[in-house]
A and B are shown apart, each in its own frame.
Chain A
């Protein structure tokens, strides 16, 4: 996507950065929460998806509040009042030629949006408040927890440490966690972030709620990690023309979780039109494969095996008629037209990991995905979470996968239920099993030989043997003399009572011990 032009509106003597996207018949101003950065939003999949959806039916006006993102910095020790920041909304609307707009306030931005609606009713077409609140200490955090949060924000700002407080469901998503760290750094300085947090703690707009006349939609995630859903229930009672919709999920930022659901609600509310069913979506089986280090391999060895597995993964996915759909760190997503193919591929991948000396944990789920671009949305997140819950070697699938694979000859065992934040009902699970399940036999046969008997250096050597390396290559890699490597190999064969290098390699592959492969 080409970059959106950033412009600046003058609010008093401060320049406020804004962007305008789309050309719908009415204006929609997005009032961001705690911090924001106009340029960075487009780099996150969820955020850009949300903005794309909203700008398809409106002229979407985005801005960074003073002191944040691309807007002018302000004196962190004398931050402006909520009223002054609210007036920035008016300044941006004036600059963009917006006489009247619908306002979408997210989180702390909801308080600003409410203040705007009460102050400028003639310029407020409608109000959408997502994860909003009227009083900080009552619904976000009490004063005693605030100090700890600010201290953490000050000392660890820029590392992404605040992510757990906003979107605990995304902490294990390395790409998003990295983005969040940049989001912190590029949205506010540490001092400004602490000052903003302190200032937000002073928010109390309960007194203006009765003055809001605009039709209002309230959206809140049922298990919101940051703002108590009671905050929106209170608003629903106090704002005259308001309707509350609670949606599943716990991640707080509006661009995380089920973005489509939130966008649907906003579109229906503002345009009065049912959202036309997406025709670019299709049913697909998604396989999430996560690989694990089995034995604290060093970085270099892990990287080598990771590369090998990646190649194998692409190959096997192709062989099973699937498509490699994306990689996020050590998590790989592939897409199949049928659940049975996804399961067979998962079984093949599991076998391959044993040959390579890594371990896999896999999840499979069936659902609708976008046909264009890498799959995003609920189906992907469910498959990913199943992979996170699966034990090493397991293929954990939703019950739906087994139901659809009836007649394929595959076998499943019941694996209970799992409660996922984004689903209103617990999800029934199965484990995919197969007759050629490899688990127990190998282990018992080699029980007599204890890999722990090998020294750390010998374990390194045996792993390199398993990689097919010669003594000379091993010597070079470990910076030893070839003579020393020979001695290590002899000791390894002696200790394990094995006849040859090939046998040692086979042992290494079959037996992932604490210091082995």
Chain B
């Protein structure tokens, strides 16, 4: 429950992502939060959408089950908006880079848009 009361901020997100802590990450989201992912396979007019905390928990569990490194580099906070970039690497050297923009509401993430690119 300690994580529940923790306000979402750049430092908390950095710690959870870099520590691959899916449970902590999920606790940052509002029950009806929406995560949108835009990338080469999911264009802006048809982004992949993950709705609700249960689906978002699965989303983070899946990502955190990967044996990879994450580095959250730049975090910018402005009122109820938060943005950060994330550089990730798989053990075979493949890299992923993502930029995320978050809207906060009552101290929780209500909406998040991720734009990502990767080696293929």
Contacts and interface: CB of A to CB of B under 8 A. Distances in A.
A88 to B, nearest CB: 15
Interface string B4-32: 00000000000000000000000000000
Contacts, number: 60
Contacts of A56: 41-42, 48
A55 interface: yes
A98 B119 contact: no
B69 to A, nearest CB: 9
Interface residues of A, number: 27
Interface string B38-58: 010110001010100001000
Contact of A95 (B41, B63, B91, B120): B91
A100 B42 CA distance: 23
A100 B67 CA distance: 10
A96 interface: yes
Contacts of A125: 62
A434 interface: no
A22 B37 CA distance: 12
Nearest to B67: A97
Interface in B62-104: 62-63, 65-68, 90-92, 94, 96
Contacts of B118: 23
Interface residues of B, number: 24
Given A23-B39, A95-B91, A97-B67, A272 B55 contact: yes
Contacts of B62: 25-27, 100, 125
Nearest to B89: A97
Contact of B92 (A7, A26, A99): A7
B63 A25 contact: yes
B113 interface: no
Contacts of B66: 27, 97-99
Interface in A75-110: 94-100
Contacts of B94: 20, 96
B90 A100 contact: no
Contacts of A55: 41
A383 B3 CA distance: 60
Interface string A1-29: 00011010100000000001111111100
Contacts of B91: 94-97
Contacts of A98: 65-67
Contact of B67 (A4, A9, A99, A272): A99
A143 to B, nearest CB: 42
Contacts of B39: 23
Given A22-B120, A55-B41, A272-B55, 16 more contacts: A7-B92, A22-B41, A24-B41, A25-B63, A26-B62, A26-B63, A27-B62, A95-B91, A96-B92, A97-B66, A98-B65, A98-B67, A99-B65, A99-B66, A125-B62, A276-B46
Interface of A: 4-5, 7, 9, 20-27, 52, 55-57, 94-100, 125, 272, 276, 279
5 contacts: A4-B120, A9-B92, A25-B62, A97-B68, A99-B67
Which 3 A-B pairs have CB atoms at the shortest separation, nearest pair first? A26-B62, A99-B65, A97-B90
